[in-house]
Amino acid sequence: MKNTQNTVRAAIIGGGPAGLMAAEVLTNHGIPVDLYDAMPSVGRKFLMAGKSGLNLTHAESYDDFVARFGDVRSKLKPALDAFPPTAIQTWANELGIETFVGSSNRVFPKDFKAAPLLRAWLKRLRAKGLTVHARHKWTGWDEQGSLCFETPNGDVSVRADATILALGGASLPKLGSDGAWAKWLESKGVCITPLKPSNCGFDVDWSAHFLDRFEGQPVKNIKLSFYGNATPGEFVITKSGIEGGPVYALSSRLRDTISTKGSATLTIDLLPDRSGADVQDRVARPRGKKSMATHLKRTLNLSGVKAGLLYECTAKKVFGEPVHLASAIKALPVTVARPRPIAEAISSAGGVAWHSLDNGLQLNALPGVFVCGEMMDWDAPTGGYLLSACMATGRKAGEAVLKRLNDSET
């Protein structure tokens, strides 16, 4: 059974932060918005991000903030300039959500929760003219150019004066972003950069002995380094390899190196609070009849999973050479073989190529169709950067649609 709905002024497909922010721009100017989402409710990924404390944005210097977006920062900067981190904090406060800046300069709601913010946001949007159509899975366009949706009540087609696609990337597909849109856009002549995992874990070929003892254990107070980029924190030993904040921070560089070279080797400073000279001095002290494991524990408090990593990734002969052993403790090489699958990643890189978009994020091949958020070809670390760019590009797409609709009336 197929139903054809009346033409709507503005259709937004995707109910994440980018789509909702686009809806806010339009409804603030009296434009009714019909928002379609494949899931039973909107904001699923947003709510999941809030389970460990919703990191809204980052309060470091604005120049440093923009630099986090790497090679595409000049492309994203106009959107970020128009809706910078300070504006996100003001926006949240206007919704009745107080924020604070943590010790790492990350910005959180005072209660750390995502649900109260999302509820307040949706309440305000609905009051201004947002209509949400849940369980509407977009399946492309029909021959007449109408948007097509699969719903529990049958197929639906919708004609829209303007459409904003905010469908996310391809990470965590169980929450709604499965990347299926790529094939429909490519069929219309839109260039798509292949979607890749980002902010993800990596496979390491651990020995069975090491996994048997240390799988699931956190490695705390370390520093990971790769090609001059260093990040402190902790990570977790998994059955397949490693994952955690410092790993995610280096993920894009690790992923791209693996793509070109077949593997990548990062280094772990197991004792970042000790200098190399101090470590070498302590390692070189006479140990008498004590085992090397006991010696390292007594002189450096190096034991447990950290000691396990040292033995796993260091040749036996090195333990008899204090200078080389100290070097291994301060820069332990760990080779990662491949990123984990994109479905496990926190976010994805790749997407709609920038040359396929005009300055208002409209698709050159599809006039009247705009994109925003993680569908676009950009990459960023965790820490509030992902959410900030999704919101900023959503606002930019909303403003471009507003202009198009207003121009059509004059």
Q: Which residues contact 372 (CB under 8 A, 6 or more apart)?
A: 18, 19, 21, 22, 164, 165, 166, 361, 390, 393, 394, 396, 397
The token duo for 18 is 């980018």
Q: CA–CA separation, 133 vs 195, rounded Å?
A: 27
Q: What are phi and psi of 387, to 5 degrees?
A: -65, -40
What pLDDT sits at residue 5?
A: 59
> In sequence order, what are the residues at sequence separation of 6 or more whose Cβ sits closer than 8 angstroms to the Cβ of residue 120?
95, 96, 97
The reported pLDDT for the residue numbered 70 is: 92
Render pLDDT for 342-358 as a digit per residue (tens, 0 to 9).
999 999 999 999 999 99
The gap from C-alpha 171 to its chain's centroid, in whole angstroms, comes to 9
CA dihedral (45, 51, 52, 58) in degrees, to 10, reads 50
Can you read off the two tokens belonging to residue 2? 């197929």
Q: Is the pLDDT of residue 159 over 80?
A: yes
pLDDT band at 49 (very low <50, low <70, confident <90, very high): confident
Confidence of residue 1 (pLDDT cuts 50, 70, 90): very low
pLDDT tens string 54-67: 999 999 999 999 99
Average pLDDT of span 129-149: 95
pLDDT of residue 51: 82
Judging by DSSP bridges, how do beta strands 33-36 and 8-13 pair with one another?
parallel
The pLDDT of 309-313, averaged and rounded, is: 97
Kindly give, in sequence order, each residue whose CB lies less than 8 Å from that of residue 17, ignoring residues fewer than 6 positions away.
43, 46, 373, 387, 390, 391, 394
- Indicate the pLDDT class of residue 2, thresholds 50, 70 and 90: low
Place of tokens 């033995």: 311
Using only C-alpha atoms, the chain has a radius of gyration, in whole angstroms, of 25
Amino acid in the structure at residue 252: S
Give residue 6's pLDDT.
65
The residues, ordered by sequence, that sit 6+ positions from 320 with a Cβ below 8 Å of its Cβ are none
d(CA 122, CA 120): 6
Nearest one of 358, 400, 403 to 376, comparing CA atoms: 358
Statement: residue 233 has pLDDT above 50: yes
Alpha carbon distance 227, 75 (integer Å) = 25
Q: Return d(Cα 323, Cα 316) in angstroms, integer.
A: 14
Q: How far apart are CA 246 and CA 84, in angstroms?
A: 25
Mean pLDDT of 331-346: 97
pLDDT at 249: 93
> Residue 7 pLDDT > 80, yes or no?
no
List where CATH 3.50.50.60 sits in the chain: 2-197+349-408
**d(C-alpha 198, C-alpha 270), whole Å:** 25
C-alpha distances in Å from residue 323, one per residue of 279, 305, 312, 317, 320: 9, 22, 18, 12, 9
Domain 2-197+349-408 has CATH 3.40.640.10: no
